[in-house]
Amino acid sequence: MKIPFAKLHGAKNDFLITRAEVAPVADFEKIAVAICDRHTGVGADGWMLLDATPGDGFDAAIRLFNSDGSEPEISGNGTRCAAALLAMAQPERNDFNIWTGAGIKHLRLIERDTARNAPAFQFEMNMGNIRIVELAAKVHEFDAVVVDAGNPQCVFPVNDFDFDWRSIGAAVEKDARFPKRTNVSFVRKVDRHTIEVRFWERGAGETNSSGTGSTGAAAAAIARGFAESPVTVLTPAGPLILRFNPQALLTGPAEYIADGYFYFTTGHHVKMVGNDSR
């Protein structure tokens, strides 16, 4: 089975995107695991199907599968990557409405750099109303904030990252109090408008950044009183900017990396060939 893809990243959170009209009609979970494998596949945090057919209130729709085959409600970084493909196909447009599993999201194109080999974009994305589910939770005996950012988030305020936060993230992801599992973030205050965060994402593990994770971490920091809007979120991949007005507005990059074809067989003997970045 020959599957075309484009590879993009949003702050080093990388995604493989296939147009829905040329995608297979089955085996989505198995394909996601195979294509996202960083040794025998193309390698990515997730695989996305993009349907550019307009609908009621939206210009395109996406379905996202994590690298473990699970299907989350939304990815902030991934949705920006989908918007980048739409912006490349429609250079006259600056506003896009994309249907996601967490509702329709509006993205505004702030900057377009197509002079480089790999086109790059900056978008402001309306993440919607972020809900604090539990302000002072105890999770695995640690102080936490439970947040609904369109997907489940468990945020741990910390003083530093000099501990095994990855193991804690992996354990908390599958904690029984989160029936659909949860994303996990660890947030450190830098100043009133800056936080630093590390991410353990549901279905993908450690990631360099997370759009929804950054949104949840910033919302938790504001709710706990150690940050105020606007908030710069320092991730291992660079800064993301959050404004709350009162809905959360996330500003971050999306960059085209490469395109090519992935060859999938049900026996999982897979290979990949790629084209030059453009």
- Greater pLDDT, 122 or 1: 122
Confidence of residue 17 (pLDDT cuts 50, 70, 90): very high
User: 182 with 257, same domain?
Assistant: no
CATH of the domain at 101: 3.10.310.10
Confidence of residue 117 (pLDDT cuts 50, 70, 90): confident
Mean pLDDT within 176-204: 97
Cα–Cα distance measured from residue 214 to residue 103, given in angstroms and rounded to the nearest whole number: 19
Confidence of residue 115 (pLDDT cuts 50, 70, 90): confident
Query: In this structure, what token pair is assigned to residue 50?
Result: 């993009």
- Total domains in the chain come to 2
Instruction: Please report, for residues 18, 131, 193, 275, the alpha-carbon distance to residue 7 in angstroms, rounded to integers and kept in the order given.
Output: 9, 32, 32, 11
User: 138 with 237, same domain?
Assistant: yes
User: 117 with 141, same domain?
Assistant: no
Instruction: Please report the pLDDT score of residue 223 as a whole number.
Output: 98
Give the length of the chain.
278
pLDDT value at 271 more than 70: no
User: 143 with 117, same domain?
Assistant: no
pLDDT tens for 53-91 read 999 999 999 999 999 999 999 999 999 999 999 999 999
* CA quadruple 163, 186, 167, 34: dihedral sign: negative
Cα–Cα distance measured from residue 151 to residue 137, given in angstroms and rounded to the nearest whole number: 18
User: 60 with 116, same domain?
Assistant: yes
Instruction: Please report the pLDDT score of residue 26 as a whole number.
Output: 86
Mean pLDDT within 40-44: 97
Instruction: Please report the pLDDT score of residue 237 as a whole number.
Output: 97
Instruction: Please report the pLDDT score of residue 116 as a whole number.
Output: 73
Q: Which of 198, 195, 190 is nearest to 163 (CA)?
A: 198
Instruction: Please report the pLDDT score of residue 265 as a whole number.
Output: 82
Q: Which of 203, 75, 215 is nearest to 145 (CA)?
A: 215
User: 42 with 93, same domain?
Assistant: yes
User: 27 with 135, same domain?
Assistant: no
Instruction: Please report, for residues 213, 214, 221, the alpha-carbon distance to residue 227 in angstroms, rounded to integers and kept in the order given.
Output: 16, 13, 5
Percent of the chain clearing pLDDT 70 (strictly above): 95
User: 215 with 191, same domain?
Assistant: yes
Instruction: Please report the pLDDT score of residue 269 as a whole number.
Output: 40
pLDDT tens for 200-249 read 999 999 999 999 999 999 999 999 999 999 999 999 999 999 999 999 99
Mean pLDDT within 257-263: 96
Instruction: Please report the pLDDT score of residue 222 as a whole number.
Output: 98
Confidence of residue 267 (pLDDT cuts 50, 70, 90): low
User: 121 with 258, same domain?
Assistant: yes
- The whole domain housing 42 covers 2-125+253-274
User: 104 with 197, same domain?
Assistant: no
* First and final C-alpha spacing in the chain: 24
As a whole number, the mean pLDDT across the chain is: 94
User: In the 8-state DSSP scheme, what is residue 162?
Assistant: -
User: 137 with 121, same domain?
Assistant: no
Instruction: Please report the pLDDT score of residue 274 as a whole number.
Output: 44
User: 28 with 45, same domain?
Assistant: yes
pLDDT tens for 163-179 read 999 999 999 999 999 99
Long-range pairs of 34-37 with CB within 8 A, sequence gap ≥ 24: 34/262, 34/264, 34/268, 34/270, 35/3, 35/5, 35/262, 35/264, 35/270, 36/66, 36/67, 37/67, 37/270
